[in-house]
Structure 1
């Protein structure tokens, strides 16, 4: 392991210890810690341990329930609605993924929604859960703060509203798409601010339509949607499916959890599981995915392009590298984590 980095186990144990010190039951702390550490291992640096001080701040301020018990409140053979009891978002969302997998085994497809949840980390975590069960997984969410106006507007009424889709393969890596409906997820803006780095042009604009590259001025700007008005349309539809359909917050009701530690967010998510066997031979499907992957990767490239990447390949390489070398923790983040551990009387993150 590279000097200064931390292993998955060290990171998971540290996060779990912090949560237990904040009053989260040990089993729940372990579940959430494992998912957050996974986020860092796959390179989703804005959604792993980076978020821990913020989550703890919300728990201590009364905005999030540390002893939540998510439960199914509506159910049919191929669907379920889960109330997250205002707990850590990872608990309700992972429950939705497990429930969707179980239902899809008998029904072929299953859709599970979440209401009264919270921020739950990177979208791919939950699509991958379904994919690792041998199915196609899809995840949608309403983002935890509005940073996107309707196309042509200035009022922030939509969030980054991400989607993730994970498709099993055979000998090739699974295809895993994880993207926001904005050019950049807001977590990436927060990471840039912490590291003192500028944002590329094209991520945000100010209220006059000029490029905004200083992440510390992000509250003065607007995130830009992918594909112009098309990204705005996707953000709206994904929000309706993950938020409005579940009785969760959408539009003006979305609480900015970056600025407000006390108000219940009522975040909505949705997980869809598709059992490949309900549509044909899973082995044949995997062979077809392999063949398509090889065709795409091996196709002719533009001058100067070294490689054609498939969705999920770069995060897979990051995972392999970080499993071997550990997860890098920037100095500013380590300082925050050390202060958090001292404040709670918990063990510090390994050096």
Structure 2
């Protein structure tokens, strides 16, 4: 395990073991703890550090406060050949969304396309974890979610009625890495704000403004303002649509009903997510599609660049590169997060991470 001035480096396996041990101690069955730990560690492995192990103390607080059901009865409550709704029974979001994604993949095998929504779920980590799952089956994954706290007002307003409401799309390729877009409908996801605060860093201008419209740069003062939508009013509109599809359509929380799980550790969040899976085989030869994606990726990457641009990146390429690098060098965990995890380990009476 290597160290530098601002972080320690931890192997993927050690990260998974620590998370699983903490979740088991908090009451999750062994298999469920392993599933959640694997997905959380994958978030850190790809560089989505605002959604990985940094969230563990928060999850444990909610579990201990009764805000999450550690033994949920995750079940299908609406079912047709090309769609379903999964009721998560207030279980860990990673378990609920994994179940919904697996069901969508299974349905898409015979139907060509399938939409599965969730209700009574919880925070499930970065969206790309789930849009990437269908890739292994030569399928496209499109994921929508309602964020777990409202940090976005309607365009021109100041009342927090919308969240970061992410969307992620995973598209298979051939020799190239898959194209995986993972974006919040705000300029930055709130998890990145939390990560900046943990590292003692300032936010770039453009992430947040205060209620007077002035730039807000200190992440520890995030309650004094709100996140900015991407593309101005267009991002506001997109956040609304994603919330309607992932939340309202499934009978999950949206708008004023969204529970801020950063502050409220007791109230069930009734989080909604949705997964759309498209089976490539239903559209034509799979190999031909992948070859076309590879050609397009090559054209984009090899296209003329602006002065000062070293490389044109494809969505998902940098995460792919981090996975490869971090598997060799270890996953960086900021010292502030590591100290909090050490405290959590003492409370749970489990071996420390570092």
Instruction: Give the TM-score normalised by the residue count of structure 2.
Output: 0.98
2:92 counterpart of 1:92: no
1:252 is matched with: 256
Identify unmatched segments of 5+ residues in structure 1. Answer: none
262, 271, 289: which one pairs with 1:285? 289
200, 208, 213: which one pairs with 1:209? 213
Measured against aligned partners, the alpha-carbon deviations of 1:270-289 in whole angstroms (never above 9, x if no partner) come to 01110001011000000000
2:281 counterpart of 1:273: no
2:40 is matched with: 36
1:8 is matched with: 12
Instruction: Give the TM-score normalised by the residue count of structure 1.
Output: 0.99
2:121 counterpart of 1:107: no
176, 182, 185: which one pairs with 2:186? 182
* CA root-mean-square deviation: 0.8
1:195 is matched with: 199
Paired with 2:166 and 2:41, the residues of 1 have a C-alpha distance of 20
Paired with 1:231 and 1:238, the residues of 2 have a C-alpha distance of 10
279, 291, 295: which one pairs with 2:299? 295
238, 241, 244: which one pairs with 1:237? 241
1:69 Cα deviation (Å)?
2.4
Paired with 1:304 and 1:336, the residues of 2 have a C-alpha distance of 40
Runs of 4+ in 1 over 2 A off after TM superposition: 1-4
Identify unmatched segments of 5+ residues in structure 2. Answer: none
1:232 Cα deviation (Å)?
0.2
Q: Secondary structure of the equivalent of 1:329? A: strand
1:156 is matched with: 160
2:85 counterpart of 1:81: yes
Measured against aligned partners, the alpha-carbon deviations of 1:7-66 in whole angstroms (never above 9, x if no partner) come to 111111110000000010000000000000000000000000000000000000111111
123, 130, 137: which one pairs with 1:126? 130
Paired with 2:348 and 2:287, the residues of 1 have a C-alpha distance of 50
1:133 Cα deviation (Å)?
1.8
313, 319, 335: which one pairs with 2:339? 335
Paired with 2:303 and 2:322, the residues of 1 have a C-alpha distance of 24
169, 172, 178: which one pairs with 1:168? 172
1:2 Cα deviation (Å)?
3.8
Paired with 1:212 and 1:42, the residues of 2 have a C-alpha distance of 28
1:106 Cα deviation (Å)?
0.3
